[in-house]
Structure 1
Amino acid sequence: MIKRILSFCFVLVSLTSTAQVDVDLEYYLKPGYSYNPDIPTPESVLGFQIGEWHVSHDQIYMYMKELAEASERVKLEVIGRTYEQRPLMMLTISHPDNLAKLNAIKFQRSQLRDPAESRNVAIENMPAVVYMGYSVHGNEPSGVNASLLAAYHFAAANEVEDDLKNIVIIMEPGINPDGINRFASWVNSNRSIHMNGDPMNRELNEAWPRGRTNHYWFDLNRDWLPVQHPESRSRIAKIQEWKPNLVLDFHEMGTNSTFFFQPGIPSRNHPLTPRKNFELTEKIAQYHAKYLDEIGSLYFTQENYDDFYYGKGSTYPDVQGQVGILFEQASSRGHLQESVNGPLSFAFTIRNQFTASLSSFEAAVAMRQELNNYMRDFYLDAKKDADADINKAYIFGVNEDIGRTYHLADMILQHEIKLYGLKEDITINGTNFKANKAFIVPLNQPQYRLIKGMFETRTEFQDSLFYDVSAWTLPMAFDMQFMTLNSKILNLANVEEIQKGLSKPKGKVNGAAGAYGYAFEWSEYYAPKAAYELMKKGYNVRVSHEPFEINSELKFSRGTILVDKGRTKASNQEFFEDLQAIAQETGITIQSVDTGYTRGINMGSPSIDVLEIPEVALLVDNGVSSSEAGEIWHLLDQRFEMPITLLPTENFNYADLGRYNVIIFPNGSYSDISASGVEALSNWVRDGGTVIARGRALNWLNQNKIGKFTFKTNTEEDSTLQKSYADLSNDQGAKVTGGAIFNVKLDLTHPLGYGYSHQELYTFRNSNQFMEPSENPFANPLVYTDKPLASGYVYPFNLEQMKNTAMIRVSAHGRGKVIGFVDNPNFRAFWFGTNKLFLNGIFFGQTISGSSAR
């Protein structure tokens, strides 16, 4: 026993010693290759060896530029810019003969997607295309650092030149430049010369919000389908342009793990993904195993990870005749960290990722024809499925809101899907779709399976565990009318094909300068932006809590915004020109009002409130969900152009809360707020402030008696005496609500319901927090129905708990209001359908009657 302990200690000491000495290039490179000395190594450009420091994004760009200038195999392209204006790079690496005919190769590949042309394609002569995407999560740095080695290898290795005649590599060295830079700055700033790997070391514990996410703290690996961010839109454009056979997605996982490569858990594949995809993935896995065996690395496969949600990098390809491969490397999270498997060095993690790049390349070379045949067969089979499908198209639209409709149409167009605009009014099964406010997506097109994945509702599953969400039905996310069409309806409808690059709709002003006042409905998605712009200019902006009519012809709903010059010194013409510019930008229709003597209520009615311009503080930093805070920041900053204060929780205790009239508490814990901070917040709300809070923030507010929120605490009864220990993980996982869509009922007369025209609404839920409705029925503007499941998986007991509970509950506190959301109305920036609930809290919370919230 003593000998075993001494032996283990010797191994640890040896590994620690090896981990701390500098490695040379030979540590990474596979034996048997010779390299062109005219091609610069990463060290020759950066001034340090890979793994010694974490490369910043500008250093990556610097090296790739040098590489492209030196190698006739490499072409560097800037395909976009991040929010922080860093270049998004794409390298094309192949034999020079291929680089001279890239457009011809792309055209030939496009024919694989066209069943009418694909049978004539000479597969035996067609190159395979491999996309290599590194570090979509900025604090998973082994990938992006390995990309420099991979680029060097494919540019300089003499032995790969012949193989490159049959392979085109499109490489994205750093998918998330802003996050990569944030993380590299942290670990490099805290790196010691003499490292000890202590997990408690500051270097290994980056500060909030950490480097995983992009500028607005979004997980870009969930954005391949929604494409809401510039990084994703640029990448997907290239993916659709090239149609790669393999899509490699390099990630990291917990330090105490090893190395994972796909396939994932077979029972969790999406049903729309062919079985052949799994078989090819498994065949490719043999190459990874061989290469990792050669360097003695531990690994696993077919556990933990799945291929269900089509919005991830390794799964998005699977519904398009491609094979997505996820790699997960145990993370050193810095330069050296202790793990259960011994000291884990940064260099070691990089070597595994580089090795997986090489194994993937060998697989692509060996399986080139098989992979191209698979893509061709995938689309031939999709054509057969589309022909057999009794449904021939989907139609979607919102008659009252072209903004939401535009955004869904724009999302669909990013994925090389044909889309048609409706040019006439039609009625289907009693549902009206208006000309120029609805779109039709035919199913009989190559992207049949992807379209089904976007629009389908699914409530039955082979497995009850999901790595990510179980539902993302896009028309539900946008809260819009949609239904399937048969071929007869589609053929009869007057439609026009929409081209990619769809322009945002423009608004207008009906009437002339010098009117008594102006009004616009709150139903348009960008109406809040218009209201904010008008308030910012100093105009008097009011909201009507009752409907009214103008000249017995024009009817306006609750939530209509009324605007006049107020106390500004603007002339009638200047005011009118401002209205025109804002209408044009936001897509709203503004109507002139010629008299205050309107029907229903008059323009001076006490049922109309003057609105204060929102002065918003958003709580961030320790304890706060960075992703949720980022979604709010992005919503207000990018879409509605509203300046907000990102208020760190540690600053809250001494902040001047009087600067704000709305304070937002995202899901999180707020232990950094002291007793004095709680008291200040309580007084601020009592004086008329509005708090908007979600998730666990509601528990904190309730505990501190700032508003009243109660939750169900029921537990499931289970009298089973003994269960199999092997089933423990699955048993617990099945009870997690990872992400599904539910039916809720909205009170359209409540200020939080303004802008909606139907009581039925869809909400997205990914928690098991069940909020009891208020005893005051007027304080429950949004509740779950008695049949809440719309799409996705939910554990039966949780479904029962959810029925008739509150999704939104409003609580009065003095003269102020606390608006509590159970679900996230801004989920991943593509849940457009519930954004307005959140914005209504910001704009109209001040107007909610105190008696309705007690």
Structure 2
Amino acid sequence: MIFKYLSFICSVLITLLISVNSFANSASSKMWPGSEYRDSIPTFEKVLGYEVGDRITNYSDMLRYFEALASAEPTKIKLLEYGRTWEGRKLIYVAIGNANNIANLDDFANKMQQLSDPRKTDKKTAKKLITQLPASVWLGYGVHGNEISSTDAAMMMAYHLLAAPDEPTNQKILANTLVFIDPLQNPDGRTRFTSRYYSTVGMQHSDDRLSAEHNEPWPSGRSNHYLFDMNRDWLAITQPETAGRIKTINKYRPLVVIDLHEMGGDQSYYFSPSAQPFNPHMTKTQIDNIAIVGRNNGKHFDRLGFDFFTREIFDAFYPGYGDSWPTFYGASASTYEVSSSRGELYKKKTGEVLTYFNTVHRHFVASVSTAEAVSENHQKLLNDYYDYQVNAIAAGKDKKERIYILPNQRNKAGTHRLATLMAQHDVEVHRAKKAFKSCGKTYQAGAYFIDSAQPKGRFVTTTFSKQVDMDSKFIKEQERRRSRKLHDEIYDTTGWSLPLMFDVDVEHCNKAIKVTTEFVKADDHLVGHVSNIDATVGFVVEWGDMAAGRFLTAALLQGISVKSADKAFVLDNKHHFSAGSLIIEKRANDDGLASKVEQIAAQTGAKVIGVNTSWVTEGPSFGSGNTVNMIAPKIAMAWDEPVSSLSAGNSRFVIERQFNYPVTAIRTPMLKRADLSNYQVLILPSGNYMDALGKSGADNIKQWVKRGGVLITFGRATKYAADQAIGLLAVKRERAFKAKADKKKPAKESAKDSEIAGQLFTSKESLIKASENTKEKPDFVAGVLANIEVDQEHWLTAGVNQNLTAIAYGNDIYTPIKLASGKNVAWFSSADNVLASGYLWEENKKQLAYKPYLIHQPMAKGMVISFTQEPTTRAYLDGLNVMLLNTIFRSAAHALPLR
């Protein structure tokens, strides 16, 4: 009996020792040394069958794990859905805190809304709220689907907070802080990555950067379903993932927002403070607060022996990132970047093998450290947040351009889109119910206006101003670097004025407007209207905005017969219609036309006029040769290598989701020999096509064009079309302009000579000049808004504003096409006017001036239409959409294939 008892005791002790040893060696215990985890909270291994960092967790397992955590500890964690991806996957976030804060999560949101508006909440009430409210931090993971470690770090962060509540750092966090975790911002992209990655793994994982494991096929998992870089979607909010996230963040207003990323595997770890330049509409307090968080990260990284760096890259200038957008409601925000293993193993150039666990560990430590810093600065962050709102209102009142007025007389669809977009950003946008006067000018009822003296005023200022300047010292340094032939340090686009990009008229006043108004809501529908629904002849839709464009595509898809006028016309001396206006004749359609037109107008917001006569007194008549029959073209788009996935995705999105018209994606190599006779339009998004298509591919496309096809090229695809060996477009790329020297040039030397005639240099500038290449490209431009002028007498620009704004990026500048070959339909403005917003090198201003932006070249029965830049960048150049509609639909109507 005693023997049995002793055996039992021994077995228990052995089990305990094994358990303790297992715990001591588990991956979780290494994450935050000294933590003791409760068995009641499910581990990675229990739910998923592997330890944290042992495997790249896919989307469905991530969701399953968070559901298990929420089920195990419902009083400390709340799981909520904020949307669905294009492919139907749930977008979730969790809130973690003590039981009281989780139980009162909605009350927290309401009180943060109160604290966000000093016009309703005075300082005394704000002070009381601050004593009641917890601090809050939002941790966003995996916006780029192939930046894989952050999602597993998010899972470990949630487990750590819930399973180790007695750990000293956790005690601080849970006592006064709500931690919001968005574990996977891009489920579609991550699913693409994980499925492909594990399909390449063989007998063992490879750490070789040449291996298939480390080289993703096109498109990479970085982007979402429509191949958007969603870290650049925070201004235009085109994607459902971004829309849901912004709505949720606007609800809770977290005080600190962190966006966790990955960078090249040979680097270490990056966190705040950010690099120069900062957006000038951020406040010093916000910048100082995020530096406090960064310093706390540095403390823990030093403690654990992790390398890191700050300040050297990743600036805070562009307001459309996940780490900059939150600053414009008053948060402090930053990006974190960890060296990426892009798989389970990766050998650095130093010979060190980076493991997936290493990358997850660092993101996890930074997450805990950030939450700790927020907890330790709880009162300061809340006070600073309220002060931000107070100061934002005051700053708006002091502005000379305090009020932004959108008259809503031209481009009504674009104006409505911009107004509702700003409402989606939680900006107060007013719609006047009556006519009003402002600064001596009268505006009609229906005009919109935004007063920048509001809590979101700084966001209004930075997105509506034509120019936001970078720090002068930073610019001076970039010019110095350029003079030394060094790469500049401008990280991304430097111009982003939304009214310019949307082609929306905006006027200003410095005085508050007094008129009866209603607030614009994000989901307000553009109201369409059909006048004279019982018209006897037909209906006319004024061309020139997206409402008319969507009317056209809907009508074509429903089989309605539509004409479009190449020139402006006047009907019966009464109604004036712009070039491009749509004509829907009753004689050419069935008896149900009126109800169809009414339905489409309601769906699209188009204004439709019923007409009882076709008597035209100016311009082309309904039956004129200058009034073309529109067709429903079948559109093909080059897809897969070597196409830029961003260009392809952005372009397809604009056509499918903004124009509401289908596109067929064709893998690029097939275009070499494919029979394209089933298509009327082929779009080549930006990309390096020479190796994939070469001369044989160009010849195949050329024969299709000659038979009546319409080829449209964007950006670098125009470079391919313009190559002399390809012969699709009769223009050439320009080298950098070099002013001719006055001095006599030295005698030419033979390339075979090993020596050259002596030269005398008298300064360092002489050395630099002699070092220059004689055939340099223009300097590369990170991305600016440029003014373009539009030919108003070409059918391709019907209904297009004569002055538009486009993106100028890179260093491709083209010669004009000769009139014998085609027409320069749109071109960059003069050197002193070409820059609309951003920073552009002086030499580029001069050389870009009056160079083509849009080129039309007839080719037998078809045509080539080339954009020298990309008109669909980030799907936020709404002002170019009518031009793009014309290049697709009006060009198909003007081509001359056998119908």
After TM superposition, the score normalised by the length of structure 1 is: 0.91
| Aligned: 1:697 with 2:704 | no
Tell me the distance in 1 between the aligned counterparts of 2:523 and 2:288: 39
Contact 2:537–2:587, Cα closer than 8 Å, also in 1:
no
**Same amino acid, percent of matched pairs:** 29
Equivalent residue runs for 1:375-774 within 5 Å = 375-425=385-435, 433-436=443-446, 438-458=447-467, 460-462=469-471, 463-464=474-475, 465-487=489-511, 490-491=513-514, 494-513=515-534, 515-564=536-585, 570-571=590-591, 574-600=592-618, 601-670=620-689, 671-703=691-723, 704-715=726-737, 720-721=765-766, 735-756=779-800, 758-774=801-817
TM-aligned CA distance change 1:73 to 1:291, over 3 Å: same
TM-aligned CA distance change 1:819 to 1:425, over 3 Å: farther
Please state how far the C-alpha of 1:674 moved relative to its aligned partner. Answer: 4.9
State the match for 1:9 in structure 2: none
| Aligned: 1:780 with 2:804 | no
Tell me the distance in 2 between the aligned counterparts of 1:667 and 1:654: 20
| Aligned: 1:92 with 2:112 | no
Tell me the distance in 2 between the aligned counterparts of 1:204 and 1:708: 40
TM-aligned CA distance change 1:118 to 1:284, over 3 Å: farther
Please state how far the C-alpha of 1:247 moved relative to its aligned partner. Answer: 0.4
| Aligned: 1:119 with 2:123 | yes
Tell me the distance in 2 between the aligned counterparts of 1:391 and 1:516: 48
SS in 2 for 1:739: strand
Moved more, 60-69 or 805-814: 805-814
Please state how far the C-alpha of 1:111 moved relative to its aligned partner. Answer: 3.1
Root-mean-square deviation over aligned CA pairs: 2.4
Moved more, 619-628 or 369-378: 369-378
State the match for 1:7 in structure 2: none
Please state how far the C-alpha of 1:328 moved relative to its aligned partner. Answer: 0.5
**Unaligned segments of structure 1, at least 5 residues:** 1-21
Contact 1:420–1:495, Cα closer than 8 Å, also in 2:
no
| Aligned: 1:795 with 2:835 | no
| Aligned: 1:78 with 2:81 | yes
After TM superposition, the score normalised by the length of structure 2 is: 0.87
Contact 1:167–1:364, Cα closer than 8 Å, also in 2:
yes
State the match for 1:108 in structure 2: 111
SS in 1 for 2:316: coil
| Cα offsets for 1:162-210 (capped at 9, x unmatched) | 5312000111000111111111111122223422311111111111111
TM-aligned CA distance change 1:631 to 1:430, over 3 Å: farther
Please state how far the C-alpha of 1:433 moved relative to its aligned partner. Answer: 4.8
Tell me the distance in 1 between the aligned counterparts of 2:366 and 2:735: 47
Please state how far the C-alpha of 1:215 moved relative to its aligned partner. Answer: 0.7
Please state how far the C-alpha of 1:397 moved relative to its aligned partner. Answer: 4.3
Matched letter for residue 311 of structure 1: G
State the match for 1:224 in structure 2: 234
State the match for 2:482 in structure 1: none
What number of residue pairs does the alignment pair up? 814
Moved more, 72-81 or 745-754: 745-754
TM-aligned CA distance change 1:414 to 1:512, over 3 Å: closer
Contact 1:736–1:767, Cα closer than 8 Å, also in 2:
yes
TM-aligned CA distance change 1:547 to 1:720, over 3 Å: same
SS in 1 for 2:320: coil
Please state how far the C-alpha of 1:506 moved relative to its aligned partner. Answer: 2.5
TM-aligned CA distance change 1:536 to 1:107, over 3 Å: closer
Tell me the distance in 1 between the aligned counterparts of 2:470 and 2:843: 17
Tell me the distance in 2 between the aligned counterparts of 1:812 and 1:433: 44
Contact 2:408–2:448, Cα closer than 8 Å, also in 1:
no
Please state how far the C-alpha of 1:27 moved relative to its aligned partner. Answer: 5.7
Tell me the distance in 2 between the aligned counterparts of 1:565 and 1:683: 38
State the match for 1:15 in structure 2: none
State the match for 2:480 in structure 1: none
State the match for 2:378 in structure 1: 368
SS in 2 for 1:256: coil
Matched letter for residue 104 of structure 2: K
| Aligned: 1:817 with 2:863 | yes
Please state how far the C-alpha of 1:51 moved relative to its aligned partner. Answer: 2.4
Matched letter for residue 354 of structure 1: F
| Cα offsets for 1:59-106 (capped at 9, x unmatched) | 111111110011121000011111111111010100001111122222
Tell me the distance in 1 between the aligned counterparts of 2:236 and 2:631: 34
Tell me the distance in 1 between the aligned counterparts of 2:397 and 2:556: 54
Moved more, 804-813 or 307-316: 804-813
Matched letter for residue 779 of structure 1: K
Please state how far the C-alpha of 1:305 moved relative to its aligned partner. Answer: 1.2
Tell me the distance in 1 between the aligned counterparts of 2:662 and 2:25: 48
Tell me the distance in 2 between the aligned counterparts of 1:514 and 1:242: 52
SS in 1 for 2:309: coil
Moved more, 360-369 or 110-119: 110-119
SS in 2 for 1:76: strand
Please state how far the C-alpha of 1:322 moved relative to its aligned partner. Answer: 1.1
Please state how far the C-alpha of 1:392 moved relative to its aligned partner. Answer: 2.5
Contact 1:706–1:813, Cα closer than 8 Å, also in 2:
no
Moved more, 518-527 or 427-436: 427-436
Tell me the distance in 1 between the aligned counterparts of 2:695 and 2:260: 45
| Cα offsets for 1:9-59 (capped at 9, x unmatched) | xxxxxxxxxxxxx98323642112221210101221112223232211111
Please state how far the C-alpha of 1:431 moved relative to its aligned partner. Answer: 8.0
Matched letter for residue 297 of structure 1: F
**Unaligned segments of structure 2, at least 5 residues:** 1-23, 476-488, 742-763
SS in 2 for 1:312: coil
Contact 1:23–1:347, Cα closer than 8 Å, also in 2:
no
Please state how far the C-alpha of 1:482 moved relative to its aligned partner. Answer: 0.4
| Cα offsets for 1:486-526 (capped at 9, x unmatched) | 216x22xx341224244221322222447223221112313
Please state how far the C-alpha of 1:413 moved relative to its aligned partner. Answer: 0.7
Contact 1:79–1:89, Cα closer than 8 Å, also in 2:
yes
| Cα offsets for 1:603-642 (capped at 9, x unmatched) | 2112111122111001111011111111111112112221
Contact 2:172–2:375, Cα closer than 8 Å, also in 1:
no
Tell me the distance in 2 between the aligned counterparts of 1:36 and 1:27: 12
TM-aligned CA distance change 1:512 to 1:835, over 3 Å: closer
| Cα offsets for 1:92-137 (capped at 9, x unmatched) | 1000011111222223322332224252223344311000100110
